[in-house]
Structure 1
Amino acid sequence: MTLGISQVTVYVDDQQRAVDFWSGKMGFEVVRDMPYGEHRWIEVEPPAGGTRLVLAKADPQWPALVEGLPNYVMFHADDIVKTHQELAARGVEFTQPPSRQPWGWSAVFKDDDGHLFHLGQR
């Protein structure tokens, strides 16, 4: 049996702002954007393909994000320093620039909704 992860949902306050961040700053491709009830069903895919992010409208009744706690969505790059430079030049905010840790290279960046994500190096 072969299993994989096809999508990960990221809950956002403003779907268009999220599309602008993921497609404009991160370079992801919008592969699906269609009506979904009162909102939109939006999927974005990284430039190298693979697992898609679903940018879903958050319900205002849900608890707020825990400040400073990264999502358990981890991205990887072949060259973390170069990727950091390219993304920062596009306006991506890093709360932790690339640094060598005992387990390898690590960085943390923030999207325009305040979610924190890990960036590692293969």
Structure 2
Amino acid sequence: MRREDLPAPEAGILLTHFLTVSDVARSRAFYADVLGGEVVLDENPCIVRLANGWIIMNPGGGPTPDKPDVTLRPPGDPQTVSGFLNIRVADIGACHREWSARGAEFLTPPLDRRAELRCYLRDPDGYLIEVGQATGMLEGVFADPPAGTR
């Protein structure tokens, strides 16, 4: 294993995304086989390099000395989300076709949202993943403000 395969910067910071998963092998297969990531470490924790970032996965568990009041567990209600993985792609049509052929189940096909083309899928634990391609935003057309904020 090479240092550059790991999320271990020699200087500065590096952003990774940690997911609490119910089945490490199933999630590892999804992020590697469906989304095309590279497994860097199988378990404890599982690390998958995906494009220019890393997904780190471990099962849930109770408090530890460094997080004494925190319990980790996968999402309980897939209809309520407080955060999600946001993946930006150069060609959303090609990405949608490729990942669908590998077993990804998208909530909708890519939709034109003026600022971007966008669609969503879920991983095996129900984590929401947005896949987007910048379109209008490249020309100064941005998303409408959220409802009720005007």
Of structures 1 and 2, the one scoring higher in RCO (CA 8 A, sep 6+) is: 1
1:121 and 2:130 correspond: no
1:42 and 2:53 correspond: no
Rate the CA distance shift 1:4–1:120 in 2: closer, same or farther, 3 A.
Answer: farther
- How many pairs are equivalent? 114
CA distance in 1, matches of 2:74, 2:96: 31
From the CA coordinates, give the structure whose radius of gyration is larger: 2
Give the alignment of 1:5-84 within 5 angstroms: 5-34=14-43, 40-46=44-50, 48=51, 50-59=52-61, 62=73, 64-70=75-81, 71-84=83-96
Range with greater deviation from structure 2 (110-119 or 84-93): 110-119
Residue in structure 2 matching 1:107, options 113, 119, 144: 119
Distance apart, 1:64 and its partner CA: 4.1
Residue ranges of structure 2 left out of the alignment (5+ in a row): 1-10, 63-70, 135-150
Determine what percentage of the aligned residue pairs are the same residue: 25
Distance apart, 1:3 and its partner CA: 5.9
Larger relative strand fraction: 1
Residue ranges of structure 1 left out of the alignment (5+ in a row): 35-39
Distance apart, 1:72 and its partner CA: 2.5
